[in-house]
């Protein structure tokens, strides 16, 4: 591990993948140098690298890494790389970006390891461009719903630059709104069990000088009831064709509460998170994670040793609870008669 030198959460240097280790933030800032696919699988599986766009990009770099290690004289050992690609696709099941990243990079295998790496690096640039467009569109959309006054926003999990190649999705929109002088406060759900909100989003908002308060996840509904929230902004891990949205566990509850209180619920996510092959969210595989994430907190046991645990990492919010999904190519409004709008903002 080294001190961070990356502008973004991911990069490539001298035949290795560089990644910010998100497990140890905010107290330690470490850069991982991953030189084998096994190391990358461990990093994604333990959430050192996390967030749907970031794991898709990391997986694409992983295919490049495998092609780099399994080639001689520019000729790639196709079978070895495809075996690694299959392992990368399967390491986390919910975010569609993972299989998308692997598929795109692997499609260049016939052109040699350099071409695979060039594709993965192009995907990083594309995600950065998508972030920039989506953040502005998301901010425009929120301003179109709530044109005046200070905004009290609520967000969940981490959708910022750690989770993407650049400024992030929902958090990118929040930072853009802050840049326009509109944000009075962001309520950040801590995001049990792994505390992506407390550890990562709070840190990113602090770095960007955006005013925020952290709350336990179970305080969100009451905050909405007390009139403390004007709009909920979240990201996504997989979006079905009808607009059903898989995202971090707890998102569905926020959407139910927002609908009950008449609060806009806006999802900000890149095109790569849409899974048009799924008609709706019922087929989305929800990752179930280790029981110890729930029975302990920061390594300290908080439950009886043999407690049985239900630990889904994600849930699915039905489209009818979603005000809009804002992407770089469109704004999808499941509840509107004009369901699919092209924003006036250039993509
Ligand atoms: O388990 P994680 O931390 O990878 O979950 C991440 C989320 O649920 C994010 O909200 C989602 O991936 C969008 S990131 C732009």
| pLDDT single digits (tens) 201-213 | 999 999 999 999 9
Q: Can you give the pLDDT at residue 336?
A: 79
Helices 113-145/170-179 angle, 10° precision: 50
Residues with beta carbon inside 6 Å of ligand 1?
A: 47, 50-53, 95, 157, 159, 163-164, 169, 196, 235-237, 247-248, 313
Among all chains, which residue has been given the structure tokens 């902004």? 233
Please tell me the distance between residue 81's alpha carbon and the centre of ligand 1 in angstroms: 27
Q: Is the pLDDT of residue 216 over 70?
A: yes
**Within its chain, how far is the Cα of 229 from the centroid?**
22
CA atoms within 13 A on the CB side of 90: 7
| Burial class, 2, CB count within 10 angstroms (exposed 0-12 / middle 13-18 / buried 19+) | exposed
Q: Can you give the pLDDT at residue 56?
A: 98
237 as an active site residue: the answer is yes
| Torsion region of 298: left, alpha or beta (phi above 0 gives left; psi -120 to 50 gives alpha) | left
Mutate to test the pocket of ligand 1, among 8, 92, 158 (most ligand atoms within 8 A of CB): 158
CATH 3.40.50.10470 fits 133-332, yes or no: yes
d(C-alpha 311, C-alpha 252), whole Å: 15
Q: Is the pLDDT of residue 6 over 70?
A: no
**Within its chain, how far is the Cα of 46 from the centroid?**
15
Please tell me the distance between residue 233's alpha carbon and the centre of ligand 1 in angstroms: 13
Domain with CATH 3.40.50.10470 in the chain: 133-332
> pLDDT digit string (tens) for 79-93?
999 999 999 999 999
The answer to whether 295 and 302 are in contact (CB under 8 A) is: yes
CATH of segment(s) 10-126? 1.20.120.420
3-state secondary structure of 161: helix
Q: Is the pLDDT of residue 181 over 80?
A: yes
Domain with CATH 1.20.120.420 in the chain: 10-126
């Amino acid at each position: 591990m080294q001190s961070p030198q990356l502008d973004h959460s991911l990069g490539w240097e001298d035949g290795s993948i560089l990644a910010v280790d998100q497990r140890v933030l905010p107290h330690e800032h470490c850069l991982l140098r991953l030189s084998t696919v096994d190391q990358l699988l461990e990093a994604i599986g333990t959430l050192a690298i996390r967030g749907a766009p970031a794991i898709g990009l990391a997986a694409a770099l992983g295919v490049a890494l495998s092609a780099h290690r399994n080639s001689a004289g520019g000729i790639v050992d196709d079978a070895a790389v495809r075996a690694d690609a299959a392992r990368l696709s399967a390491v986390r099941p919910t975010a569609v970006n993972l299989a998308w990243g692997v598929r795109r990079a692997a499609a260049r295998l016939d052109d040699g390891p350099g071409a695979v790496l060039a594709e993965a690096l192009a995907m990083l640039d594309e995600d950065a461009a998508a972030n920039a467009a989506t953040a502005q569109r998301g901010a425009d959309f929120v301003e179109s719903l709530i044109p005046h006054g200070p905004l009290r926003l609520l967000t969940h999990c981490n959708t910022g630059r750690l989770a993407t190649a650049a400024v992030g999705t929902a958090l990118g929109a929040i930072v853009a709104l802050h840049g326009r002088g509109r944000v009075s406060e962001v309520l950040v759900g801590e995001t049990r069990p792994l505390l992506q909100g407390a550890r990562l989003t709070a840190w990113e908002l602090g770095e960007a000088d955006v005013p925020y308060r952290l709350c336990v996840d179970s305080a969100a509904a009451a905050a909405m009831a007390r009139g403390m929230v004007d709009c909920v902004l979240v990201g996504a891990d997989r979006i079905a064709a009808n607009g059903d949205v898989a995202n971090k566990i707890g998102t569905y509850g926020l959407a139910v509460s927002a609908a009950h209180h008449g609060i806009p619920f806006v999802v900000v996510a890149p095109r790569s998170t849409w899974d048009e092959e799924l008609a709706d969210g019922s087929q989305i595989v929800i990752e179930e994670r280790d029981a110890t994430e729930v029975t302990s907190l920061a390594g300290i046991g908080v439950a009886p040793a043999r407690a049985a645990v239900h630990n889904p990492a994600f849930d699915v919010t039905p489209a009818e609870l979603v005000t809009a999904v804002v992407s770089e190519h469109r704004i999808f409004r499941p509840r509107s008669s004009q369901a699919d709008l092209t924003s006036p903002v250039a993509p």
